Homo-oligomer: A and B are copies of this chain.
Amino acid sequence: MSISKPYLLFLGDVKDELAAKTAHGVLDWRPEWCLGQITLPGCKAHTTLSEMSLTDATEAGAKTMVIGCVNAGGVLPDHWIETIVDALNHGLDIAAGLHIELGSIPAIAEAAAKNNRKLHDLRFTDLTFPTGKGDKRSGKRLLTVGTDCSVGKKYSALALQKGLADRNISSDFCATGQTGILIAERGVAIDSVVSDFISGAAEHISPATKDDHWDVIEGQGALHHPSFASVSLGLLHGSQPDAFVVCHEPTRSTMRGVSAPIPSIQDVIDLTIQLGRLTNPDIRCVGLAINTMMLSENHAKNLIEELGEAHKLPATDPVRFGTDPIIDHICAEFKLV
């Protein structure tokens, strides 16, 4: 996948920071690719980049406008179309992770053709998948799972893969969502796969590999989420993880977008092991990744210590405090280095 850089990050007028997680993800992990942001009136999200007009951005050398925000269901609000068309008229390509193809919107298709610009639809793949087989594959796999959607599964996977690589353990980050694909420049958006093929696509994403190689697979959804548990289960079965890390954001009261309560960390550990055993009887939890962004440093450290002791597992905030406790534990459990 080749998307022209640098990027202008479009945040629309989303109602919270989480809705702009694509923009934040690309900026946090690939800051050298990002030039500025552009928002619409009423936008409640913002990055650390300067706000730029389309004219400023193109003059500064921007090549692609990345739609850095997404709502549940991945639809494109009508009032965003004008800015996208305008960006194409300014000579920018567009990259988006929507559930509809950009080119299916006539005004966008016309503007792209007129300006000879590229439309990158990250949620669509040219690949076709067989149905999942469930047979054990060679190599090792680690999957991040969550007590909810949008709790840090992608960041934890990226950080854990970096942690393994830092110790010279052969590993890859396997992207399963549009932001991960933008960061890794490859992968499959698992929530866009036709449901008959979810586990087959997950098997494709983390194929048989060398015995000492680790695929670190970005989790999606949450097994306890009434909207997306099926995506999470297909990914779990297809990934057949040897190890998983539970990601948790401690300040939520209900699951994102619905009225269902947040499950406990122990509930998620138990259910992941119970269901994951279908394709990997040796599946085990190797750590807790606590997203402490909303907490003070002291509060964060105390909570991490408490949760780690309660579950007898290494716990950390991978972004704030690094992944060493979990990587140490993986090395011990699997006799690495």
Chain A interfacial positions (CB closer than 8 Å to B): 72-74, 99, 130-135, 190-200, 224, 226-231, 233-234, 237, 257-260, 275, 278-279
C-alpha spacing A317/B258, complex, angstroms:
39
Establish whether residues B134 and A259, one from each chain, have CB atoms under 8 Å apart when the complex forms: yes
A sample of 18 more A-B contacts (CB under 8 A), given A99-B194, A133-B226, A229-B275, is: A72-B130, A74-B196, A132-B228, A134-B260, A135-B259, A190-B195, A194-B195, A195-B198, A195-B230, A195-B231, A196-B228, A198-B230, A199-B228, A199-B230, A200-B227, A224-B278, A226-B279, A229-B278
Q: Which residues of B contact A74 (CB under 8 A)?
A: 196
Compute how far the CA of A99 lies from the CA of B195 in the bound complex, rounded to whole angstroms.
11
Q: Which residues of B contact A198 (CB under 8 A)?
A: 195, 230-231
| CB-based contact A229/B224 at 8 Å | no
Enumerate chain B residues within 8 angstroms of A195, measured Cβ to Cβ.
190-195, 198, 230-231, 234
A54–B259 CA distance with the chains assembled, in angstroms: 56
What residues of chain B lie closer than 8 Å to A72, measured between beta carbons?
A: 130-131
State in angstroms the CA–CA spacing of A228 and B233 once bound together.
Answer: 10
A195 to chain B, nearest CB (A): 5
On chain B, the residues within 8 Å of A227 by CB distance are 131-134, 199-200
Contact residues in B for A199 (Cβ distance below 8 Å)? 226-230
Interface SS majority for chain A: loop
Number of copies: 2
Contact across chains for B131 and A73 when beta carbons are under 8 A apart? yes
Residue of B nearest to A74 (CB): B196
Among B73, B135, B194, B260, the residue within 8 A (CB) of A191 is B194
Contacts of A260 in B (CB 8 A): 134, 278
A203 to chain B, nearest CB (A): 9
B131 and A257 within 8 A (CB): yes
B196 to A99, Cβ gap below 8 A?
yes
A226 touches B231 (CB 8 A): no
Q: Which residue of B lies closest to A257 (CB)?
A: B131
Q: Sample 12 A-B pairs with CB under 8 A, ordered by A number.
A: A73-B130, A73-B197, A131-B228, A134-B226, A134-B259, A191-B194, A194-B194, A224-B278, A226-B279, A229-B233, A229-B278, A230-B230
Chain B residues lying within 8 Å of A134, measured Cβ to Cβ, are: 226-227, 258-260
A15 CB to closest chain B CB, in angstroms? 16
- Residue from B131, B193, B194, B226 in contact with A278 in the complex, judged by beta carbons closer than 8 Å: B226
- Specify which chain B residues have a CB less than 8 angstroms from the CB of A192 in the assembled complex: 194-196
> A259 contacts which chain B residues (CB < 8 A)?
134-135
Query: Which residue of chain B lies nearest to A136 when distances are taken between CB atoms in the complex?
Result: B259
Greatest chain B CB density within 10 A among A194, A224, A278 is at: A194
**A190 contacts which chain B residues (CB < 8 A)?**
195
In the complex, A132 Cα to B131 Cα: how many Å? 24
A237 / chain B contacts, CB cutoff of 8 Å: 226, 229-230
A6 to chain B, nearest CB (A): 30
Closest to A131 in B: B227
Contact call B193/A194, Cβ cutoff below 8 A: yes
Complex CA–CA separation, A133 to B254 (angstroms): 13
Report the Cα distance A98→B232, complex, angstroms: 25
Q: Which residues of B contact A193 (CB under 8 A)?
A: 194-195
